Structure 1
Amino acid sequence: MVSRRLPWFLLSLMLAGVAAAEPPRSATLPTTIAEYRAIPREYRLDGVVEAIHRTTVSAQTQGQVEAIHYDVDDYVERGAVLVELRDTEHRARVTQAAADLKSATAKLEQTREEYDRIEGLFAKRNVSESQMDRAAADLKAAQAALESATAQLEQAQEQLSYTEIRAPYSGIVTHRHVELGETASPGTPVMTGLSLDELRVVVEVPQSLIPAVRSGTEIHVDLTDGERLAVSDVTVFPFADMGSNTFTVRLRLPVGTRSLFPGMYVKTGFVTGERRELVVPKAAVVYRSELTAVYVQGDDGRLALRQIRAGRTVDDQILVLAGLEAGERVVLDPLAASRQIKAQTAPATEGHGDD
């Protein structure tokens, strides 16, 4: 007589089979539907950051370099003295010009007194007309001599001021061209610097985009910290490069943009309209080495890891270029989905091991 009670190991195998056939319990995981959305049609182009103010300061008078107050990578305030030239000769010229001015002033006063005296006598007919004319000519000559002496003093003082070479604006020193003891002449480069306060981005734009740029399309620059900076001050060069058929476009950044520096490469975006793209939330995408994927939940509730080809990120959405269809359900918590799949496959693995 055959016992109707099944052996315990057969019963356990049947229960394990039923458990494996049951759909995974993934309904509690947060999911969303992959769908098409209107996404801005954007052309991404590389740009180079430039300083609007970049200057090489040169000597404007002759003199020996006596002091250098700043060097490369130093920050300089506007009007600060960069380099001092020997000013002994220039001070002597100022002193001489001041003495000449003082002499011319005294001469003018004496000539004016003499003119007033001759004018009084001429009114009484006590001097001739020629004497009156001579006095007037002497007065004009004295006035001209005073003006000349004043101009010479101003010129000497200006030449003296040139012995202190000052920064035209606040910025960073990038090159120093002189050493102590050298003799600088007018036009000799002294220091090169640039300002970090006012920057711009230079982009080579294809000619097909130029009409949209000229019409005022939306333009932005992606900063290093992930922030997107809108640009409204745009300059388009009125000619194209013969080799590449591109136009140079300058995008002036707002004053005080601190996360960019001259010479850096940045991404720029030129928005020319909208187009429908398949998107999924950024939180649903998982990256494993070179694999980009999402966890897809089927109609039966089962989970599967699906490789996708992802495009750019727009706000909190990622464009899906391939690997997914509209209407498919993706899991918003990839880590929880991975744990659930491992938990579901663990009993089956253990069962095979015992067999």
Structure 2
Amino acid sequence: MPSNPRLRRLATLALLLFSHIAISNATDAGSNDADPSQDPTSTTFATTEVRYRVVPKEYRLDGVVEAIHRTTVSAQTSGQVEEILYDVDDFVEKGEVIVRLRDTEHRARLAQAAAELRSASAQLEQSRDEYARIQGLYQQQNVSESAMDQAEADLESAEARLEAAQANLEQAQEQLEYTQIRAPYSGIVIRRHVELGEVASPGSPVMSGISLEELRVIIDVPQSAIPAVRERGEINIYLPNGEIAEPSRITVFPFADLGSNTFKVRADLETNTEGLFPGMFVKTAIVTGDKEALTIPSAAVVYRSEVTGAYVVSDDGRIHLRKIRTGSSLDGEIVVLSGLSPGERVALDPVAAGVALKRQAEANRQDRQDG
């Protein structure tokens, strides 16, 4: 560095001027290599055209979900309620014991029937031996024909007593089994009809339950829509999670209600349909024909609080958030009832479109400030 102060100042000014030129050149080079996506009017996301599509023409109605299996289990023998193993809202597997009755008397009857069976079996053996002895003597003509007939009658009587004893034993075993009341299918207990200590008699209700595995929807259909149900047999069930279920079987009742002139239609659902419970209301749609409607992919729809919209991209690349009104959904697309026109393009990635719209708004605001 020069020792002269003037020379030092000149050297410092020259160094600052060189640094400013270098920074300006670097800035210009960076501007030339900038990402074109920084252009607020450029769209780097995919778009699709709003178009007409043939969709089903639907007749919307409310339906009520009910369980196919809804049963009240009753006692089949008499006895005092000794144990209650399940209560309301409990899930029960098929074949599980839900209530036990006192079985002391039934076990005594079973023991008595078993003793009678042993006695009848012993009498049969004795009658068989006697019959064989009399038959041998009869062949030697040492006994009369009447004695032979009596031996044969005694053998038949012993065999009948044995059969009766076996039947009594089976009945006693069955009555003993009835003291353990079991669930006829897997389901949920919805009502309990007995208390501990009560005496249950044959036919008295014990518990009521339903199965959630097999459900159906009951729909009251106006008579004008019944021909479509009979001919096309297409009904869509809109589930709470937004999915659409198709019935496995549709049954149309052959008569109309006198008060409302509606036909009852029963739509059986597939096994283990999730999100439905007996008593719920669900939206149903009876397909009555076909129609053309504007549709866009479901991914293009934007939900902002209570507003439903889509990002519309114009030919010059400008982006606008347009409020729309939507209808039914089908195969990944949603019917647009209003807000869009055929031929317009909408963004398939609302997140990227939202970022671009914000960048576009900032560029417009900057232009206004510069102007």
Q: TM-score, normalised by structure 2?
A: 0.77
2:290 alignment partner, SS class: strand
Matched, 1:229 2:248: no
Matched, 1:139 2:158: no
CA separation of 1:285/1:257 partners in 2, compared to 1, >3 Å: closer, same or farther?
A: closer
Name the residue aligned to 2:218: 202
Whole-Å separation in 1 of the counterparts to 2:230 and 2:81: 50
Whole-Å separation in 2 of the counterparts to 1:322 and 1:207: 31
Task: Give structure 2 stretches of 5+ with no counterpart.
Answer: 1-38
CA displacement, residues 219-256 of structure 1 (integer Å, 9 cap, x when unaligned): 33333333323333222222222222222222222223
The CA deviation at 1:338 is 4.8
Name the residue aligned to 2:354: 335
The CA deviation at 1:103 is 1.3
Question: Does structure 2 retain, via aligned residues, the 8 Å contact 1:331–1:337?
Answer: no
Quick one: which amino acid aligns to residue 105 of structure 1? S
The CA deviation at 1:174 is 1.6
Matched, 1:279 2:331: no
- Return 295-304 or 114-123, whichever deviates more: 295-304
The CA deviation at 1:258 is 3.4
1:174 aligned to 190, 206, 216, which one? Answer: 190
1:157 aligned to 170, 173, 177, which one? Answer: 173
CA separation of 1:99/1:292 partners in 2, compared to 1, >3 Å: closer, same or farther?
A: closer
Whole-Å separation in 2 of the counterparts to 1:216 and 1:300: 46
The CA deviation at 1:95 is 1.0
Quick one: which amino acid aligns to residue 264 of structure 2? T
CA separation of 1:343/1:92 partners in 2, compared to 1, >3 Å: closer, same or farther?
A: same
Whole-Å separation in 1 of the counterparts to 2:72 and 2:160: 39
The CA deviation at 1:211 is 2.8
Name the residue aligned to 1:80: 96
Name the residue aligned to 2:21: none
Q: Percent identity?
A: 61
1:44 aligned to 60, 66, 75, which one? Answer: 60
Equivalent pairs counted in the alignment come to 329
CA separation of 1:154/1:231 partners in 2, compared to 1, >3 Å: closer, same or farther?
A: same
Whole-Å separation in 2 of the counterparts to 1:26 and 1:314: 33
Name the residue aligned to 1:262: 278
Name the Cα RMSD after superposition: 2.9
- Return 335-344 or 179-188, whichever deviates more: 335-344
Name the residue aligned to 1:3: none
Mapping for residues 99-118 of structure 1, pairs under 5 Å: 99-118=115-134
Whole-Å separation in 2 of the counterparts to 1:209 and 1:345: 55
The CA deviation at 1:92 is 0.7
Whole-Å separation in 1 of the counterparts to 2:298 and 2:96: 51
The CA deviation at 1:203 is 2.1
1:200 alignment partner, SS class: strand
Mapping for residues 25-36 of structure 1, pairs under 5 Å: 26=41, 28=43, 32-36=48-52
Task: Give structure 1 stretches of 5+ with no counterpart.
Answer: 1-23
CA displacement, residues 15-51 of structure 1 (integer Å, 9 cap, x when unaligned): xxxxxxxxx9646376544332212222333222222
1:120 aligned to 120, 136, 153, which one? Answer: 136
Question: Does structure 2 retain, via aligned residues, the 8 Å contact 1:295–1:337?
Answer: no
Quick one: which amino acid aligns to residue 256 of structure 1? N
1:70 aligned to 71, 74, 86, which one? Answer: 86
Matched, 1:95 2:111: yes
Whole-Å separation in 2 of the counterparts to 1:256 and 1:205: 25
Matched, 1:214 2:235: no
Name the residue aligned to 2:7: none
Quick one: which amino acid aligns to residue 343 of structure 1? E
Whole-Å separation in 2 of the counterparts to 1:206 and 1:192: 33
Q: TM-score, normalised by structure 1?
A: 0.80
Whole-Å separation in 2 of the counterparts to 1:317 and 1:154: 64
